[in-house]
Structure 1
Amino acid sequence: MLRFLRAVTALALLAAGGAAAQAVGAAPQLRVQVQEGALLGRALDGGVRVWQGVPYAAPPTGERRWQPPQPPAPWTGLRAATAPGDVCPQPMSQLPGDGRSGVRGAEDCLSLNVYAPPTPAPAPDAGRAPRTPVMVWIHGGSFRSGAGSDYAAELLAREQGVTVVTFNYRLGALGFLAAPALEDGAGGSGNYGLMDQQAALRWVRRNVAAFGGDPRNVTVFGESAGAMSICAQLASPLARGLFDRAILQSGPCTPQGVTAPLREALSTATAYARALGCAPQDAACLRALPVGRLLDVPVPGNRVPGAIDLPLVWGDRVLPRAPAEVFAAGAGLRVPVLLGTNRDEGTLFVAPVAPSGQDLPLWQFWGVVALLERWNAPLALASYPAGRGTVGDAAAALVTDSVFACPTSDLAADLARGAPVYAYEFRDPAPPLALSPTASVPRYGAAHASELVSVFGTRLAGLADPAQFTAPQARLARSIRSYWANFARRGDPNGPGLVPWTPYDPHAGRVLGLAPGATAEVTDFRQEHHCGLWDRLALH
C-alpha cells in the first residue's frame, strides 16, 4: 500500500507539474532533469528561463552544522523551482543608513538559482542548440550577509547570451568558525563557506548542461567578499578543475584581516565559544545554540569598523597556505583573470562610522590607522592629510588605497606571471546610489559596490536602480556587461564597439578606466593610489 501511495503521489506531482508548465507556456524548456530529480522553472519577460531554490547540498542543520557540505537528497516527481530558497542566517541589513534590525534567513539555505537565456535555434548542421557560456556569481557582504537571490540576472542572461548561476553559502559563525571542538581530524575546521562554494561549482559542472550551459566553460565572478572568496579559491588545491576563468570585483584576499592563520582562528573561536556559553571543546553545545544567539553575541577581538569578524582560515586542507604566499610564489590555479576596483571604495565604509551629522573625529581616524599600521602610522597619516577635505575623505582614500587598489594591483602582477590578466578601475564620479551623504562623506563617488548595478543591469534594493542612469552611464553599463560576457565566453573581454583592453603588464601597471563617455587606459593608477607607499609599509 505504501508503494502504491508513493506511485500515486509521484504521478500527481508530474501531472501538476505538467499543467503548471503548460500554464506558463514552453513546458519543454522549463522542465529539466538534474542528477537529483526533475525541476520545473518559469519563464520571464523576454524569454529568459529561471529555476530558483534548487538545492545543491543537504541542509547544514543539526549534526551537519559545521560539517563539510553533503550531497542533496534526490527527489521523486517534479520539483517546483519557481521561488528562491531561504537565505543563509544573517543580520537584516548591512547598508549604511538602513535602520532595519533583526535576523533574516534559515540554516537550510544551500540552494542556487539558474538564469538561462532564450533558447536559440539549433545550428543548421547540429541536432541541438549550442551551449552557452556559464557565469557563476558569488555574492559579497563581508562574509556575514547577502544572498544569491539578491541579484536578478535575467538582463545579463538575455542581453549577453550567457547562463548565470547565483547561490547562497554559509555566513558568519556558521560559515567560518574554526573552533577546537569542530576539528574533524583531517585538517579541517572553519572555511565551511568556501567548501559550500566548491560544492556549488561541482553541482554546476555536473548539471548545467541540462539548462543549456556549457559545463566546460565556467567563469566564476563575484564582488567584495565574493571576490575575496574567488581569490581564495585560486589559492585552494581543492578548487582545481571547478572553473575555467575568474572575475574579481573589489576583493583581493591578501590584505591584513581577510585571512587568518588557523592557530589565530582557533584562539578567537575559543574566546567566542566561551562568550556563547559553551566550553571550547563542546561541539554538542555549539550545535545546540539557536541561530539568533550566534548573530547577537559579538566575536571577541579588536578590529577596525567594518572589518571581517571571522576571516577566511589558512592552514587547513581548504587553504593550506596563506593566499599572499601562494601568489607571490607563482603558485595557485592558472586561469585567465579579470579583476579591478572602484576609484572611491572607502567611502561606503567610512560613511556610517562618524557620529550623525558630524565629520569623522580626527582622533578616531588616527586611532584606526594606528591599529592597522602600528609604528608605520605616522608615515601613512602624512600621505593622507585631513586638511584637503573632510577627515572622512582622508580616511576613505586611505581605505581605498591600502585595502583595495594597491593589493589588487599587486595581485594582478602576481597572477599575470601564470595566465592572462585584465585589470580595470570603475571611475564613474556619480553613479546612481541610493545612499544619503553624510558630514564625513559628502560625496560617495565610485564607492564600493557601485559597479554592481552596471554588471547586472537590474535594481539592487537599497543600493541603486539602473532607471536612474544617464545615457552615458547606460552605455557604460552595457559595455561592462559586454566585457564581462566576452571574457566568460573566450577569456578575452575585447569585442566589436568596445574600447580596446590590453592584458595587464606588471611593469607598466596600466588598467582600463571605466567611466561614462571616457573609458580609456589609465597610466598612473599606482601613483594615484600611493601604491609605492603601501609597498614600503608592507616591507616593515
Structure 2
Amino acid sequence: MTRTLSLLTAALLTVAGAQDTTAPAPAVPPTTQSAPPAAPGFPVRTQVTSGTLVGRQDAGVRVWQGVPYAAPPVGERRWRPPEPAPIWVGERDASRPGDVCLQRALIGGSGTRGSEDCLSLNVYAPATATRAPVMVWIHGGSFRSGAGSDYDGRVLAREQGVVVVTVNYRLGALGFLAAPGLLEGRTVGNYGLLDQQAALRWVRANAAAFGGDPANVTVFGESAGGMSVCDQLTSPVAAGLFDKAILQSGPCTPEINTAPLVEALKTGADYARALGCPEGDAACLRAVPAERLLNTPVPGRRAPGSVALPPVYGDAVLPRSPGEAFASGQVNRVPVLIGSNLDEGTLFVAPLAQNGRDIPLWQFWGLVAVLEGWNTPRVLANYPTRNYDTVGLAASALVTDGLFACPVNDITRHLARVTPVYAYEFRDRTAPIELRPTASVPSYGAYHAAEIISVFGTRLEGLADPAKFTPAQADLARTMRAYWANFARFGNPNAGGLPEWPRFDPARNNLLTFQPAFIGERTDFRQEHRCDVWSR
C-alpha cells in the first residue's frame, strides 16, 4: 500500500494536564487508599480483583476513574510487557482520572503532559446495568498523544444501556520503541498494544463488578485507536480478548502505520545512540529521564508529520504485516463494524497553509513526487488542482482516498470473506468544528474525527461540541449511537425503528452512509474515492 501522505499524519488536539512524575519504580506492596472527597453525585462502591473502588453516581450513571489495570511501567518495568495491577488495602478513590501517559503538551505549546505511571482506565456504567454489553474505547492521537479521559462515556452509557470503558496506553518512545537489548521473550516495541491487551484482560476479569457482561466485550477506536483495533484483529495474542470490533478511520495496512522489525530495530539503535546509550544497553535506556525521551528527535528520514515510532510487525504481537494478515484471512474472526469519513484529509492539510496563503502548486507536486515516485504522474492526473477550489482541497482529497478511504475499504473486503462486516461512511459536510478554516481548506467538511461527538454525544475538547448540532444532526447522532450499541449487544447494528443496515457484500461493495436527514446505502464508494489509483 502506498506511502503517500505520511506528511500529514498528526495528533488530534488533546487536553493539557497532569505533572511529570518519573521516579524509579518502587516496590509494589499493598497500599492504603483514603475514601473519596466530596464530588457531584454520591459514592458507589464495587469490588474488583485488586480491591475496593469508590466512584460516584450522578444522573443515572456510575463512574469510576483512574482505575489501575496494570502495574506502573516505570524503572525496571519500562519497555517491558505490562504486569498485573497491585492489590490495595481499604478503599481506593476512583472519583477522578489518573495521569495521562507521558506526551508533549498541546500542539503549539511547550513542556509535557502526564507521567509514566499512567496505565489506568475509566468506567461509565448505567446505574441499573446487569450483564450489559461492554464497549472498550482505544483513543487516537498518532500513537504519541491523547488519553482515555479525553472522552466522556456518560451519554453513551446512559442512553444506550452499555458499559463504556476508556483506556490509557503507553505512547511515543515509551510505547513503541524497538531497540536491541529490549527484547522480552518474543516481543519488542509493541508495549502500547500489549497495554491495550492487558486492559482487555482486566475488563474480562472485572466487567461484572460494573454490571457488564464479561462475555460480550466490543473494542472500538478512531484514528490511531482504530489502527490499534486493526492491529489487534491481526494479533494472535489478542485472540479471545474481545468479541466484536469497531474500527473508525483507522486502517493499519498503509506502510506508514507499522514498521518491519528489522527497520524498527535499526531506528531504535540509532535513537539509543542519540540518547547516549551503547547499543544493547537496556539499563542505560531505562535510566534516561522520561522528558529526554520526548525531547530527543528520533533519527531517520521520514516525511514531515509521520509517526516516527509506529507499531512493529515481526514479533509475537504482530508476527506478519497487517496487510498480509488481512489478505490471507489470518485474523481474529469476530464481527466488525468499520468505516471512514468523506473528507478525512482536510484536518491534516489545513495547517499546511502559511501566511494566509494556499499551498503552492509546486509544493503539492513535489511532495507527491517524493512520496509516490514512479506513481506520481498517475496520482497527479487523478487529482488535477483545476477541479478544486484550492490546491489544499486537492491535497485533502488525495489524503482522504490514499490514506483512509481506500485502505479501509480494502480491509473491509478482506474481512467480509471470513467474518460478518458492516461498513459505513460518515458524510456530514456541515459537522461542527471549533478549528478555524485556512486558505488551503476553507471548509473542513466531513473531516477526520467528525463522527466522534456523535458516537459519544459529548464534547471533544478543542475539536467539536454536540451542543452545536442542528436538530437533524442530533437525530443522526442518536441513530449512530443506537447502531454502535446494537452492534455491541448483538454483533448486528440493526433493530426496530432504524433504517436497515445490510451486511457488507464484497461483490456489491455496499456501505451505509450517514448524513443529516438521510441514511442510505451506496455501492459507488471505490469509484468516488478513485481506489483503482491506490491499488497495488
Same fold by TM-score greater than 0.5: yes
Aligned counterpart, 1:166: 166
Equivalence map 1:194-343=2 (5 Å): 194-343=193-342
Q: Distance in 2 between matches of 1:270 and 1:356?
A: 39
Q: Contact 1:344–1:397 (CA<8 Å) still a contact in 2?
A: yes
Q: Contact 2:227–2:247 (CA<8 Å) still a contact in 1?
A: yes
State yes or no: 1:175 paired with 2:175.
yes
| Cα displacement (A) at 1:306 | 2.8
2:526 aligns to what SS in structure 1? helix
Q: Distance in 2 between matches of 1:370 and 1:268?
A: 25
Aligned counterpart, 2:54: 40
Q: Any unmatched runs of 5+ in structure 2?
A: 1-28
2:334 aligns to what SS in structure 1? coil
Aligned counterpart, 1:521: 521
Amino acid at match of 2:196: Q
Q: Contact 2:341–2:446 (CA<8 Å) still a contact in 1?
A: yes
Q: Contact 1:305–1:353 (CA<8 Å) still a contact in 2?
A: no
Q: Distance in 2 between matches of 1:373 and 1:256?
A: 12
Aligned counterpart, 2:82: 69
Aligned counterpart, 2:452: 452
Amino acid at match of 1:167: V
**CA distance change for structure 1 residues 516 and 305 in 2, over 3 Å: closer, same or farther?**
farther
1:304 aligns to what SS in structure 2? coil
Q: Distance in 1 between matches of 2:432 and 2:171?
A: 28
Aligned counterpart, 1:118: 127
Aligned counterpart, 1:367: 366
Describe the superposition over 1:90-140 as per-residue Cα deviations: whole angstroms up to 9, x where unpaired. Answer: 11124xxxx3332100000000000001215xxxxxxxxx31000000000
Q: Contact 2:57–2:127 (CA<8 Å) still a contact in 1?
A: no
| Cα displacement (A) at 1:295 | 1.2
Q: Distance in 2 between matches of 1:421 and 1:239?
A: 19
2:518 aligns to what SS in structure 1? coil
Q: Contact 2:341–2:427 (CA<8 Å) still a contact in 1?
A: yes
1:369 aligns to what SS in structure 2? helix
Aligned counterpart, 1:100: 109
| Cα displacement (A) at 1:300 | 1.9
Aligned counterpart, 1:82: 95
**CA distance change for structure 1 residues 453 and 486 in 2, over 3 Å: closer, same or farther?**
same
Amino acid at match of 1:221: F
Amino acid at match of 1:251: G
Amino acid at match of 1:440: S
| Cα displacement (A) at 1:20 | 6.7
2:506 aligns to what SS in structure 1? coil
Q: Distance in 1 between matches of 2:220 and 2:423?
A: 14
Higher share of residues assigned helix: 1
Q: Contact 2:75–2:286 (CA<8 Å) still a contact in 1?
A: yes
2:88 aligns to what SS in structure 1? coil
Q: Contact 1:306–1:349 (CA<8 Å) still a contact in 2?
A: no
**CA distance change for structure 1 residues 64 and 419 in 2, over 3 Å: closer, same or farther?**
same
| Cα displacement (A) at 1:356 | 3.2
Task: Choose 502-511 or 160-169, whichever is displaced more.
Answer: 502-511
Amino acid at match of 1:533: V
| Cα displacement (A) at 1:289 | 1.4
State yes or no: 1:395 paired with 2:409.
no
Q: Distance in 1 between matches of 2:346 and 2:297?
A: 25
Task: Choose 166-175 or 295-304, whichever is displaced more.
Answer: 295-304
Count of aligned pairs between the two proteins: 507
Q: Distance in 2 between matches of 1:466 and 1:87?
A: 24
Q: Distance in 2 between matches of 1:242 and 1:371?
A: 41
Task: Choose 333-342 or 262-271, whichever is displaced more.
Answer: 262-271
2:116 aligns to what SS in structure 1? coil
Describe the superposition over 1:187-239 as per-residue Cα deviations: whole angstroms up to 9, x where unpaired. Answer: 22100000000000000000010100000000000000001001100100100
Equivalence map 1:427-446=2 (5 Å): 427-446=427-446
Q: Distance in 1 between matches of 2:277 and 2:360?
A: 38
| Cα displacement (A) at 1:24 | 4.7
Amino acid at match of 1:463: L
Amino acid at match of 2:265: L
Describe the superposition over 1:274-332 as per-residue Cα deviations: whole angstroms up to 9, x where unpaired. Answer: 22222232212211112221111222222223321111100001001111101101111
Aligned counterpart, 1:157: 157
Amino acid at match of 1:37: G
1:181 aligns to what SS in structure 2? coil
Q: Contact 1:220–1:247 (CA<8 Å) still a contact in 2?
A: yes
1:519 aligns to what SS in structure 2? strand
- Identity within the alignment, %: 65
Q: Which one of the candidate residues 54, 67, 71 is aligned to 1:54?
A: 67
1:277 aligns to what SS in structure 2? coil
Q: Distance in 1 between matches of 2:170 and 2:126?
A: 28
Aligned counterpart, 2:16: none
| Cα displacement (A) at 1:335 | 0.4
Aligned counterpart, 2:3: none
Aligned counterpart, 2:353: 354
